[in-house]
């Protein structure tokens, strides 16, 4: 297969949603249809010990939520699919934001009972910033929920995007009969818990066909009215409008019952974009370029706790990645080769020989990588748009077992490398302050430190409101500022100076009184001067 064909056959996307909308369940059903797994895990059932493939961390199984992005690759109808299942909980939004830099499109899951929720809006804002193509899957049609037309209005109003239904539900809850595929003009009948739905499909090119009345009875008239209204009110579906991020196709179904999933997956593989390019500090790199390039968007320590491994997740942007070939690590300015690159199905890993644009691969890492690092075939460039954000909650890390100090030091260094939290060190005393965007992250960090490193700790609240990275054009002025504000200065893991503000008012006044100092609210900056 040619290089161009390898690119065309790939689809790399993320599934995003508010917690409990059914995102992980939909992921499982995609894997079923792709033949990647044989049975779906029950994410929340304590009776079924087999957990969801994408929720492989023990704390995820216990809580029934995703707290880390999972990567899954599988083939479906001649298409190579790279699927990233993201955390839905708002406390892990930063992991999701970075994941969205590594995908070319998104499937947004909405609960038909609850409609558009707060986290859904926040995630959609990120998609809108990059004009990421979005498909909406309205889930849980087997329950009594909001009117489909009300849901469409809510999607447009709250997510600020035009919508176009490509499938339409017939009934809802106890009267849910199935969906009519407006894109293919086919009728699918609802069968709870059925693994495949192809046997329950009738092709109806004309809604006036008497077969419609025969199949769904009194619901036929309502379906005809609904479809007529849809065709009159909503603009026609044009693939380019979707690819431009202007219009979101909408599908309806029930992921837990495997209904509407195959139609979604079939249409997605036909209309979703192939791998796209990414901006660098030099130029935009396109997938057709033959020289290899890629960036690290996620790091995960102890993916397999038995082997204490550390994996860097790399999205291939251009060229072909090859096992055992040397590639240039731009930040470190040295060449590395990788003897055991892998692709993923949740926690399971398979050795690969090569990878193409759009693929997400895992590289075993001994500490060379940080989030945002670029690998190339020799060119010095840096991919943009993969920041760490200024934390909102701060707590001091307290060691409760002095005999395990080394394990605690190693553990907190590796876990914060993953990007779920920021680590700031204050002097004197080597005081360690951890900053996050949500409280749940502290619970996860504490749990993983104990389970994976044997290090016992606790977190003590500290009175801080914001952390800002500092730069200045004048080295002396930066040094003077750091000396005067020493009690409020810490350093991040890379040695960059950080100002820790006790309140928003203190931060505003400090910025106002120090015009020669630049205060940065994300880590995506080039340090002009360091202390």
**CATH number of the domain where residue 124 is located:** 3.40.50.300
Pair 400, 453 in one domain = yes
357: left (phi over 0), alpha (psi -120 to 50) or beta: beta
Of 79-93, 227-241, 413-427, 432-446, which one has max mean pLDDT?
Answer: 227-241
Pair 73, 163 in one domain = yes
Compute the chain's Rg from CA coordinates: 25
Q: Is the pLDDT of residue 230 over 50?
A: yes
Q: Does some domain include residue 388?
A: no
Among residues 23, 3, 22, 4, the alpha carbon closest in space to that of 13 is found at 23
Pick the residue with more confidence: 120 or 479? 479
Cα–Cα distance between 43 and 50 in angstroms, integer?
Answer: 8
CB count within 10 Å of CB 51 equals 22
Q: What is the pLDDT of residues 152-174, one digit of tens each?
A: 999 999 999 999 999 999 988 88
Cα–Cα distance between 104 and 172 in angstroms, integer?
Answer: 32
Q: Does some domain include residue 383?
A: no
Integer CA distances (angstroms), 466 to 136, 423, 439, in order:
35, 13, 15
Q: Does some domain include residue 516?
A: yes
Pair 256, 283 in one domain = no
Q: Which residue shows structure tokens 């994408």? A: 54
Pair 67, 200 in one domain = yes
Pair 255, 359 in one domain = no
Task: Single out the residue in 213, 238, 271 at which a domain terminates.
Answer: 271
- Averaged pLDDT, 328-352: 85
Asked if residues 258 and 197 have their Cβ atoms less than 8 Å apart, the reply is: yes
Structure confidence at residue 56 (pLDDT) = 41
Cα–Cα distance between 113 and 101 in angstroms, integer?
Answer: 30
Question: Domain holding 514: CATH number?
Answer: 3.30.70.3280
Task: Single out the residue in 376, 409, 431 at which a domain terminates.
Answer: 376
Cα–Cα distance between 268 and 36 in angstroms, integer?
Answer: 18
Q: Does some domain include residue 360?
A: yes
Residue 509 half-sphere exposure, CB side, CA atoms within 13 Å?
6
Among residues 177, 152, 158, the alpha carbon closest in space to that of 230 is found at 152
Cα–Cα distance between 138 and 109 in angstroms, integer?
Answer: 6
- Averaged pLDDT, 68-76: 75
CA 238 to chain centre: 26
Asked if residues 151 and 248 have their Cβ atoms less than 8 Å apart, the reply is: no
- Residue 249: its H or E element: strand 247-252
Integer CA distances (angstroms), 341 to 2, 136, 147, 279, 362, in order:
22, 33, 48, 25, 6
3-state DSSP call for residue 350?
strand
- Averaged pLDDT, 37-46: 45
Q: Does some domain include residue 529?
A: no
pTM: 0.78
Q: Does some domain include residue 33?
A: yes
Pair 397, 485 in one domain = yes
- Averaged pLDDT, 388-400: 85
Pair 449, 474 in one domain = yes
Asked if residues 298 and 98 have their Cβ atoms less than 8 Å apart, the reply is: yes
Q: Which domain holds residue 429?
A: 393-520
Structure confidence at residue 32 (pLDDT) = 84
Pair 497, 445 in one domain = yes
Q: Is the pLDDT of residue 43 over 50?
A: no
Pair 157, 287 in one domain = no
Dihedral angle of Cα 24, 15, 414, 491, to the nearest 10 degrees: -130
Integer CA distances (angstroms), 191 to 166, 254, 255, 331, in order:
20, 10, 12, 54
Task: Single out the residue in 271, 303, 321 at which a domain terminates.
Answer: 271
Pair 368, 399 in one domain = no
Long-range contacts, 278-282 (Cβ 8 Å, 24+):
278/101, 278/317, 278/383, 278/384, 278/385, 279/383, 279/384, 279/385, 280/374, 280/381, 280/382, 280/383, 280/384, 281/381, 281/382, 281/384, 282/379, 282/381
Q: Does some domain include residue 216?
A: yes
Structure confidence at residue 305 (pLDDT) = 54
- Contacts of residue 192, defined as CB under 8 A and 6 or more positions apart, other chains included, come to 142, 257, 259
Pair 185, 241 in one domain = yes
Structure confidence at residue 217 (pLDDT) = 84
Domain count, the chain: 3
pLDDT above 90 covers a percentage of the chain that reads 47
Q: In this structure, what DSSP letter does residue 402 have?
A: G
Q: Is the pLDDT of residue 89 over 50?
A: no
- Averaged pLDDT, 107-134: 87
* Sign of torsion over alpha carbons 210, 214, 216, 220: positive
Q: Does some domain include residue 528?
A: no
Pair 140, 37 in one domain = yes
Q: What is the pLDDT of residues 412-445, one digit of tens each?
A: 988 887 777 889 999 888 899 998 877 778 888 8
Among residues 274, 350, 270, 353, the alpha carbon closest in space to that of 318 is found at 274
Structure confidence at residue 164 (pLDDT) = 95
């Amino acid at each position: 297969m040619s290089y161009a064909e390898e690119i065309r056959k790939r689809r790399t996307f993320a599934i995003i949603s508010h917690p409990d909308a059914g995102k992980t369940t939909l992921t499982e059903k995609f894997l079923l249809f792709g033949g990647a797994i044989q049975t779906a895990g029950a994410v929340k059932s304590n009776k079924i010990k087999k957990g969801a493939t994408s929720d492989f961390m023990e704390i995820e199984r216990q809580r029934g939520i995703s707290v880390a992005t999972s990567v899954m690759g599988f083939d479906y109808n001649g298409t190579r699919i790279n699927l990233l299942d993201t955390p839905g909980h708002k406390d892990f939004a930063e992991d999701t934001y970075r994941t969205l830099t590594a995908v070319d499109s998104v499937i947004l899951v909405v609960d038909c009972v609850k409609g558009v929720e707060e986290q859904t809006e926040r995630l959609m804002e990120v998609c809108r910033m990059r004009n990421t193509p979005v498909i909406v899957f309205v889930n849980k049609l087997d329950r009594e929920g909001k009117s489909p037309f009300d849901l469409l209005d809510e999607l447009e109003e709250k997510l600020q995007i035009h919508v176009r239904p490509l499938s339409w539900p017939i009934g809802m809850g106890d009267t849910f009969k199935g969906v009519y595929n407006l894109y293919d003009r086919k009728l699918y009948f609802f069968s709870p818990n059925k693994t495949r739905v192809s046997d329950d499909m009738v092709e109806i090119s004309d809604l006036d066909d008497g077969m419609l009345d025969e199949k769904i009875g009194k619901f036929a008239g309502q379906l005809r009215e609904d479809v007529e209204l849809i065709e009159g009110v909503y603009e026609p579906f044009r693939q380019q409008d979707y690819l431009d991020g202007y219009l979101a196709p909408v599908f309806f179904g029930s992921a837990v019952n495997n209904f509407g999933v195959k139609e979604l997956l079939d249409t997605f593989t036909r209309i979703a974009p192939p791998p796209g390019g990414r901006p660098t500090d030099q130029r935009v790199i396109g997938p057709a370029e033959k020289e290899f390039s890629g960036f690290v968007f996620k790091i995960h320590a102890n993916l397999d706790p038995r082997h204490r491994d550390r994996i860097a997740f790399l999205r291939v942007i251009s060229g072909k990645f090859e096992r055992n070939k040397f590639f240039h690590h731009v930040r470190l300015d040295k060449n590395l080769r990788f003897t055991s690159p892998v692709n993923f199905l949740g926690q399971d890993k398979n050795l690969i020989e090569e990878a193409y644009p759009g693929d997400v691969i895992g590289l075993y890492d001994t500490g060379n990588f940080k989030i945002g690092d670029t690998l190339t075939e020799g060119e010095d460039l840096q991919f943009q748009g993969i920041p760490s954000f200024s934390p909102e909650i701060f707590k001091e890390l307290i060691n409760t077992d002095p005999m395990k100090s080394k394990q605690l030091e190693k553990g907190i260094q590796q876990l914060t490398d993953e990007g779920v939290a920021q680590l700031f060190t204050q002097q004197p005393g080597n005081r360690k302050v951890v900053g996050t965007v949500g409280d749940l992250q502290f619970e996860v960090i504490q749990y993983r430190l104990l389970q994976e490193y044997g290090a016992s700790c606790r977190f003590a609240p500290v009175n801080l409101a914001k952390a800002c990275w500092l730069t200045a054009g004048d080295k002396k002025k930066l040094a003077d500022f750091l000396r005067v504000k020493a009690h409020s200065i810490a350093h991040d893991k890379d040695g960059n100076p950080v100002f820790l503000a006790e309140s928003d008012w203190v931060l505003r006044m400090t910025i106002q009184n120090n015009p020669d100092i630049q205060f940065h609210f994300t880590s995506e900056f080039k340090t002009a001067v360091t202390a």
